[in-house]
Structures are given as structure tokens and as C-alpha cells.
């Protein structure tokens, strides 16, 4: 079975953990690293004959249009991460509509391809803002991958379905992957957990998921996670530093092993949206 390889294309200074330290008005003053880091991932995927879904921030696409072209030219799926990396849970309907609509139009103009998928920054779909699916439908999105069915201090809908489901608005939701353990969902989809867990645990978890569930496993990563030399953010809390910088130097090698150990594809291909 093929599994889904997904990348959230954003820069190190745009993450939610640092939103109190640098605001969007300061982004253009920061030294960008997202283009080079995404190119590292593109080369790694080419070396392993892997196609992925790149949930790309509109802010990044606007400043690095050639990166968008490379993603598409190399056969990957281009999808939306919104425009300004604002949590959906912190936006009203009008703000969210502008954020996801502007990103979709920009990405389609740059790529010449329809943008089918969306992922909310920090998986920020909650039980309190399920109107977001109505907006996604209005803007022409086909699917979302924005729900992590786990308990977490910043995100999560623990009792959400664990596998793809159709929302009342007609937009599919493809949740991040979990393993049920003693009645609770353990997060195994990558990102910070890929850096936290030893690789052998990740490999075991993916294998167990594959053997137990007749569903694709969903993995995600950020380009900054293959960049151990990125600038450090002054003033970050101990928790934020731990979450962001833990084991960065190990990610690229671990990802290479993951690409070798399992078969991968884009969400659009796996779920036959294109």
C-alpha cells in the first residue's frame, strides 16, 4: 500500500510557536531559508522516486514563484496552506475566506493547475469552527487535511473520525494518522513526533498502522525540519525551543530511511482526486 507524503511549505520564522516573537509585518526582514530547504526535499524525493503533496503558504509562493514551478514540474501535487499562516481558530469567516481564497487563486495562477487541497496552519480546525468547510466548498476546495484526532494543547479533535470522511459541506477531511492505545489516539504522523520518537518506533508504528488499517498512512514535515543550521529565535520559551529544535540534525537521514522503507504518493493520487 502507498502512503501519503505531505509537506507544509513555510519558513522557520512563520511557525505558530514563534508567533509572539515575530509578526507577519516583520517576515520580509527575516533571512529566508524556505526555498533552499524545500529544494533539499525535492532532491531527496527525486532520489527515491517519490511524489508528495506540498501544502504551500501563499506568502512563500508570492516571493518564490520559481519554487512553485519546480514543485509542479517535478510531478508533485501543489496544495494550499493558506496565505499568512494564521490559525483558522483565530479567524472569523470573512478573514478565513480571504486567506484561503487568495492563496488558492495565487497558487493556481502560478502553477496553471487546479488547487484541490488545503491544510490549516497548526491543524486549527476545531469543533467550534466547523463552518470552515462551508468556506472551503465556496472557494472550490475538494479536500482538507487539517484535523489531528488527538489531545494536544494547541490543536486536535480527539473524537473525530480517524480516516477520510465527507463533511456536511461536501468537502472531504483526511485526518492525520494515529494509533489507538488504551482508548486514546497516539499521534504518529510526523512533524515534531518524527523528531521526538526514535526512528525504529516510527517504522514500527507505520508498519503496525499498515497491517491493522486498510488505509493510507499520512505523514507530514516542514522544510525547516531538515535545516539544523537555521537561525535561533531569541526569547522563545523553553517549550517552544524544545518543540522546534529537537533532533533537527537527524531528520534528513531519518526521512531518507522512511522513503526507502515504505511506498509514497500524493494525497490527490492516493484518494483519486486527480
Interval 252-262: pLDDT, tens: 999 999 999 99
The model's confidence at residue 150, banded by pLDDT at 50, 70 and 90, is confident
Q: What is the pLDDT of residue 1?
A: 84
Task: Give the model's pLDDT for residue 27.
Answer: 97
High-pLDDT (> 70) share of the chain, %: 99
Enter the C-alpha cell of residue 176.
492525520
Mean pLDDT score, 32-52 = 98
Give, in degrees to the nearest 5, the angle at Cα 144 between 132 and 73.
Answer: 130
For 258, what's the count of Cα atoms within 13 Å in the CB-facing half-sphere? 32
> Hey, what domains does the chain have and what are their CATH numbers?
2-270 (3.20.20.370)
Query: What is the distance between the alpha carbons of residues 24 and 42, in angstroms, rounded to a whole number?
Result: 26
Predicted local confidence at residue 154, as pLDDT: 67
Neighbouring residues of 38: CB distance < 8 A, sequence distance ≥ 6: 7, 9, 54, 67, 71, 223
Grid cell 519554487 — which residue?
67
Contact 108/74 with Cβ under 8 angstroms?
no
8 Å CB contact between 3 and 262:
yes
**How far apart are the C-alpha atoms of 55 and 205, rounded to whole Å?**
24
pTM attached to this predicted model? 0.97
Q: Which of 153-162, 168-177, 182-191 has the lowest mean pLDDT?
A: 153-162
Which residues, in sequence order, are bridge partners of residue 264?
A: 3
Cα–Cα distance list, 218 to 37, 73, 231 (Å): 21, 23, 29
Question: Given a cut of 80, is residue 151 above it in pLDDT?
Answer: no
Report the distance separating Cα 154 and Cα 204, nearest Å.
27
Q: How does pLDDT run across 206-234, given as a tens digit for each residue?
A: 999 999 998 999 999 999 999 999 999 99
Tens of pLDDT along 71-112?
Answer: 999 999 999 999 999 999 999 999 999 999 999 999 999 999
DSSP 197-218: S-HHHHHHHHHHHHHH-SS--E
168, 267 contact by CB (below 8 A): no
Separation CA 45–CA 212 (nearest Å): 27
On whether the CB atoms of residues 115 and 79 are closer than 8 A, the answer is yes
Return the C-alpha cell found at 223.
522544510
Amino acid at each position: 500500500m502507498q502512503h501519503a507524503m505531505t509537506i507544509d511549505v513555510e519558513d522557520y520564522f512563520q511557525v505558530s510557536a514563534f508567533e509572539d516573537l515575530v509578526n507577519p509585518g516583520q517576515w520580509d526582514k527575516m533571512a529566508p531559508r524556505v526555498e533552499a530547504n524545500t529544494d533539499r526535499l525535492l532532491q531527496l524525493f527525486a532520489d527515491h522516486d517519490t511524489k508528495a503533496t506540498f501544502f504551500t503558504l501563499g506568502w512563500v509562493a508570492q516571493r518564490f514563484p520559481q519554487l512553485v514551478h519546480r514543485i509542479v514540474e517535478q510531478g508533485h501535487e501543489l496544495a494550499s496552506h493558506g496565505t499568512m499562516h494564521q490559525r483558522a481558530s483565530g479567524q472569523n469567516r470573512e478573514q478565513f475566506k480571504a486567506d484561503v481564497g487568495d492563496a488558492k487563486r495565487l497558487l493556481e495562477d502560478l502553477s496553471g493547475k487546479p488547487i484541490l487541497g488545503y491544510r490549516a496552519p497548526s491543524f486549527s480546525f476545531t469543533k467550534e469552527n466547523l463552518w470552515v468547510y462551508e468556506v472551503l466548498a465556496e472557494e472550490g476546495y475538494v479536500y482538507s487535511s487539517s484535523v489531528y484526532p488527538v489531545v494536544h494543547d494547541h490543536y486536535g479533535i480527539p473524537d473525530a473520525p480517524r480516516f477520510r470522511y465527507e463533511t456536511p459541506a461536501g468537502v472531504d477531511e483526511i485526518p492525520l494518522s494515529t494509533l489507538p492505545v488504551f482508548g486514546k489516539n497516539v499521534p504518529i504522523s510526523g512533524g515534531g513526533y518524527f523528531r521526538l520518537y526514535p526512528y525504529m518506533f516510527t517504522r514500527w508504528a507505520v508498519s503496525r498502522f499498515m497491517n491493522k488499517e486498510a488505509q493510507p498512512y499520512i505523514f507530514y514535515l516542514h522544510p525547516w525540519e531538515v535545516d539544523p543550521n537555521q537561525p535561533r529565535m531569541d526569547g522563545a520559551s523553553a517549550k517552544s525551543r524544545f518543540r522546534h529544535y529537537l533532533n533537527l540534525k537527524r531528520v534528513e537521514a531519518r526521512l531518507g530511511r522512511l522513503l526507502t522503507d515504505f511506498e509514497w504518493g500524493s494525497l490527490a493520487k492516493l484518494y483519486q482526486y486527480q
